[in-house]
Amino acid sequence: MNSDVATRIRSILLDSSTFLNEVVSFFHEKSKGKYSIVSNDRCGAWYGFPYSTHNNVHFKSTDGHKNIYNFSLKRLHFDFLRTVAKASRKDGAVLVVDASKYKTYCDSFKATLPIWCAVMNKLILYYRSEVDANFNFEEHEEIELFTPPTTSEEEHMNMKGVIEDRFQNAVDAKVVLNPKEFIRNSPSKPLRCFWIVQNSNEDTLTKLNELSDEIDKAKSEYSCIVCVSCSDRDNGLTNDNYISGAGDDEESWAHGLTPYLLWKNIDHFSPYNEPYDAAREEEIMSTIRHIVNEAKSENEEYFRANHSRCKLYQPQAPFTSYFNTMTITNSNENNDKATISIGSRRSGRPNTAWKHFDAIVNVTTMEYEEFSSMNGIIPTGKFYIQLPVKEGKRDKTELEKWMSTALLFIVVHLKENRRVLIHCAQGMDRSVAICMAVLCLCCEFDRDDGSIVLKSWVKEVSYQNMYTYFQYENKIQEGDPCFTQVYKHSSIPSVLVKHLCSRDGKNIFFSYVQMIIDKNASHEKMMQSEMPFATKESLRQALLKIHEFRSSACPTRSTMQKLNRYFMSGEFELALRQSEKL
């Protein structure tokens, strides 16, 4: 076990510091810095960390498996598309870093990324015709598919055969919310992949010069993406002291080590030019345990999120880099503005946070001391609530339990044009789920200008209004807290929190919202409002809208399932079934 871990680390460091370093240096010198470098999670992050100039991407190998050939509607990589567009405008390109253990190219490079390019090219043409009346989509409908030279003709044709279907799925899913913005951020030339792989039997410089010539010829017609496969598969088959694609399947070997922790502590793993002996292997394992335990002690929850998602963490960053903000327009006469920000735990730091936000929703099990103590001082006109929800699969029911309270808290502050922060450990999972719920429940998207507008019924929501509704529905029980007793620093009456977090809390909340919506609605609108407040499609639309502001937003499958349950189970599931029959 020690030998395997040590050999993997040594192999990663060798591949990164030799082959990848040569590739990056070559293109950097040739292009005078016009090439951007991106790592493909998760294997590629181990190699590309010291070189990456932009956020990681995640083109999954499983999407590119034979006869799967999927175009992910969850991982659309619009941020990466913008990166390619910027590089292309400067006559540059983007290097994407990954590695493979068993194949010359991993399935991400062999199929997932090429299919993404082909489908995205067709989407760009389709929406360009929608934005530009003089552009005829049908005249440009035939799309090229570029695959590595190792791909057989049969497999190439099989991949090409799914492009139309994957394109149509994307159009039907309405993955582009604002066509004008999409076209503005897209490259003017079609996306095209090129490939280079480490091979100890070939001269790397010769291969780089050949690749560079090929790219130079193509630049006038294409926006170029270079897939850099860092590992030497043939060497891995014959050399016991080297593992090809060593960064793959990190759960089985890393023991909590992450790319960030590895490269931050690189001196502890040097020198790595020669194989480690048994004593050095044991020393490396001891070093890993120390590094990981130290990271856990600094921030247990952040470490768990960081480890499970393999995201790269930059500690020395300005405060504003810890969150992303979207503007919400109030549907009143003045069109007043509120904001919702999604951020990591650091965005919720007391004192600094209050300069940027009026209300904070902490969706973690940890609190800063100023918030956890009832004696903590919250500035006048500022509000804070904690939702004690664990990360991902570790949470069973808390996200659903606290969702109604969170929605009430946020809606009340949005209608007052306040600046709301929703944060979890990394601002990728739980906080994103809460924001998705807010957008689905009480916001509308303007397709023309991309703005987010509060629905008109929101102005009726208040704590007093809800308490009156509870009284009318006989929900207030003997022994309940009085209305003036508030829940910690939130300003929400404790009696509302108690009932909203109860087993029947979701239905109570939805009934209250439905009552407000129906209050002054016409009969036709009342019939339409009997739909669930969110569906799988509207949740996907909400996530796409969030991606426009926070590209790292990536709720887990477990979290998405909880959102589906919250909005589409219980009493309101019947409405969904009825609507599907219409």
In order, the DSSP letters of 357-395 are -SEEEE-SS---HHHHSTTSPPPTT-EEEE----SGGG-
Burial 271-298 (b: 16+ CB within 10 A, else e): ebeeebeeebbebbbeebeebbeebeee
> Using one digit for the tens of pLDDT, what is the confidence trace for 290-320?
999 988 887 655 565 554 444 444 545 678 8
- Peptide bond preceding 42 in cis form (omega within 30 of 0): yes
pLDDT score for 98: 95
* 426 and 509, same domain (yes or no): yes
Residue 447 pLDDT grade (very low, low, confident, very high; cuts 50, 70, 90): low
- Report phi then psi at 131, rounded to 5: -85, -35
Structure tokens at 9: 């680390």
Which amino acid makes up residue 4? D
* 37 and 164, same domain (yes or no): yes
Our count of domains for the chain comes to 2
Residue 255 within a domain: no
Cα(375)–Cα(489) distance, rounded to whole angstroms? 10
Q: Which of 212-226, 517-531, 535-549 has the lowest mean pLDDT?
A: 517-531
Q: Name the strand (E) or helix (H) holding 229.
A: strand 223-229
Structure tokens at 152: 């057989």
Is residue 436 within 8 Å of 542, Cβ to Cβ? yes
Q: Which of 108, 38, 37, 120 is nearest to 76 (CA)?
A: 120
Average pLDDT score over residue span 329-354: 90
Residue 138 within a domain: yes
User: 485: helix, coil or strand?
Assistant: coil
* 323 and 184, same domain (yes or no): no
pLDDT score for 316: 53
Residue 305 within a domain: no
* 242 and 360, same domain (yes or no): no
Q: Which of 110, 47, 105, 20 is nearest to 246 (CA)?
A: 47
Residue 275 within a domain: no
* pTM of the shown model: 0.84
- The CATH number of the domain holding residue 365 is 3.90.190.10
**Domain span including residue 564:** 319-581
Last residue of a domain, one of 229, 250, 271: 250
Residue 85 within a domain: yes
| pLDDT at residue 46 is higher than 90 | yes
* 323 and 242, same domain (yes or no): no
pLDDT score for 308: 41
Neighbours of 524 (CB within 10 A): 8
Residue 482 within a domain: yes
* 432 and 329, same domain (yes or no): yes
* 374 and 501, same domain (yes or no): yes
Cα(439)–Cα(17) distance, rounded to whole angstroms? 45
Q: What's 57's DSSP letter?
A: B
Cα(53)–Cα(364) distance, rounded to whole angstroms? 30
Last residue of a domain, one of 233, 250, 267: 250
Q: Which of 102-106, 273-277, 341-345 has the lowest mean pLDDT?
A: 273-277
Burial 312-325 (b: 16+ CB within 10 A, else e): bbeeeeeeeebbbb
What average pLDDT is seen over the chain? 88
Cα(30)–Cα(398) distance, rounded to whole angstroms? 53
pLDDT score for 576: 39
| pLDDT at residue 237 is higher than 50 | yes
